[in-house]
Amino acid sequence: MKIPKRLQPLVDDGLIDDVIRRLKSGKEADVFIVRCGDEIRCAKVYKEAEKRNFKQAVHYQEGRKVRNSRDARAMSKGSKFGRQQQEEAWQNTEVDALYLLAKAGVRVPQPDICLDGVLLMELITDEDGLVAPRLSDVILTPEQARADHALMMNYAVRMLCAGLVHGDLSEFNVLMDKDGPVIIDLPQVVDAAANNHAKSMFERDIGNLAEYYGQFAPELRDSQYAKEIWALYQEGNLTPDSVLSGRFSELQKRADVGSVLEEIQAAGEEHRRRMMARNAEE
């Protein structure tokens, strides 16, 4: 096929030997299957900001750390240089997330290099060596749905323990290789601690998965993993190996808050009694 303009520099530099075909065109990037030496990989070509169709991108960028103050000032001013740095930050976010999550035990594509708006990375394949299907295109047995959903909940826990929320997770952003689900598309990943929308995004991600897997195992639609996981995270009790039940009691949560308030009130009354006794002695 004709080499796309954005891939030509990588071909010229010998990083890509051949562009085999376009794999998909998405809202923030086009993906191509390429040959690099003896290996078949994929090349993700990020679309420029004005051509991206990613809604409310500013919500995803909230709380992201910029590597130096000069870039941060340029971004805030919206200068040409600032816009360029914003684009690089959007792209580098995915690369950084891929490395971090792989280290955390989450199955994601192995990144190779990100250069001039092109990310070279592992091509996820099925057991026959063909391009892996998206989860949305797979029919599961109830047993497989339960097992894969449990694995995805563990991945969600490990992501949160690493400080990240996918933010756009659904059956369309998960591939199925011979070993199970692989999470993809991470440029919009958010900082769980610094983004005010992180909780609602996390709940939406987990809800999307419950709805999809619930087609095959209906009881998953009534699970409350999002609330259970987030409560553990907020309490500082979430670990990569946390055992989940999928149940969460709002009543218990309110009771816990009530008991804390009662303890605070009791402590305040005790303090007032001591002060009154001290004043009486004086």
Active-site annotation, residues = 168, 185
Contacts of 140 (CB under 8 A, 6+ apart): 148, 213, 216
Where b means 16+ CB within 10 Å and e means fewer, 153-163 reads bbbbbbbbbbb
29 CB-contact burial (10 Å; exposed 0-12 / middle 13-18 / buried 19+): buried
Question: What distance in Å separates the CA atoms of residue 123 and residue 184, rounded to the nearest whole number?
Answer: 11
Question: What distance in Å separates the CA atoms of residue 220 and residue 190, rounded to the nearest whole number?
Answer: 25
- CA-closest candidate to residue 157, choices 249, 223, 96, 242: 242
Question: What distance in Å separates the CA atoms of residue 54 and residue 82, rounded to the nearest whole number?
Answer: 19
Which DSSP category does 42 fall into?
A: E
Q: Is the dihedral of CA 145, 147, 107, 40 positive or negative?
A: negative
